[in-house]
Structures are given as C-alpha cells and as structure tokens.
Amino acid sequence: MAALRGISHDLYTHISHPNPQLFFFRGFSSKLFVKDISFSTTEETLAEAFSKFGEVTEAKIIRDKVRNRSKGYGYVSFAKEDEAKRALMDMNGKFLDGRAIFVDPARPSRHFDSVMRVARGPPEPAGDS
C-alpha cells in the first residue's frame, strides 16, 4: 500500500508541476529531436543555430534515400546535458529558415539483442542425412 501511495504521489507531482518543460525525466540525454525543419536547412545551419547554447557535437538531418531530400526532421547532440536542456527550452517554437521548429528530447534508440536471429531471405536447405 505504501508503494502505491509513492507511485500516486510521483504521478501527482508530475501532472501538477507548474511548468512541465522544466520537469525532466531521469536519463535525459544530450541529444535532441528537431522536427519541422525547412527543406532548405543544412546540417551546418542547424548546428550553427543551436551552437549558441553550447558545444554541438553532431547535427544530423534525416534524408530520403531515394530523392536525397530532407524528411523535415533531425537530431542535434550536445557535449553536456545542461546545454541540451537550455537549447530545448529556448529553441522550441523558434523560427529557423522560415519555419517554426519543434524540439523534444530524443528517445533512446532501440537496440535489439544481437543473439536474436533475424530471417534474411529463404531458409538454408537442410543437409542430407
């Protein structure tokens, strides 16, 4: 019962927090997800726009492999978490190359267990017994 009270208190604290943008979950990384990027924005201009908050270690715009055109979103990585938090607060909703961009913490990538086999093509023929 005490554990349930603790969970409900944590949930209440999260929901009733006065500024949800200031409430960060444990494990906040220094990588940000940026969406609604203009198709004319380059990785260099993205890095430059975010560099006023700290050291940008990587700025990556995701591109369509067939048309080699921006998909309109990307990632910006910072050297330190606090720099990423400041950039998240200040750049969310700001204009970059004529479009309002939206910034969120990047979700951790899903790493699949390397032991798990993945089917790639037809099964190999069974050996003659």
Helix (H, G, I), strand (E, B) or coil at 22: helix
46 closest CA partner among 73, 66, 81, 65: 73
* Residue range 87-119, pLDDT digits in tens: 999 999 999 999 999 999 998 766 655 555 666
* Residue range 7-36, pLDDT digits in tens: 444 444 444 444 444 444 445 679 999 999
Beta partners for 61?
A: 74
Does the predicted model carry a pTM greater than 0.75? no
Alpha helix ranges (H) inside 28-108: 43-50, 81-91
* Angle between helix 81-91 and 43-50 (nearest 10): 100
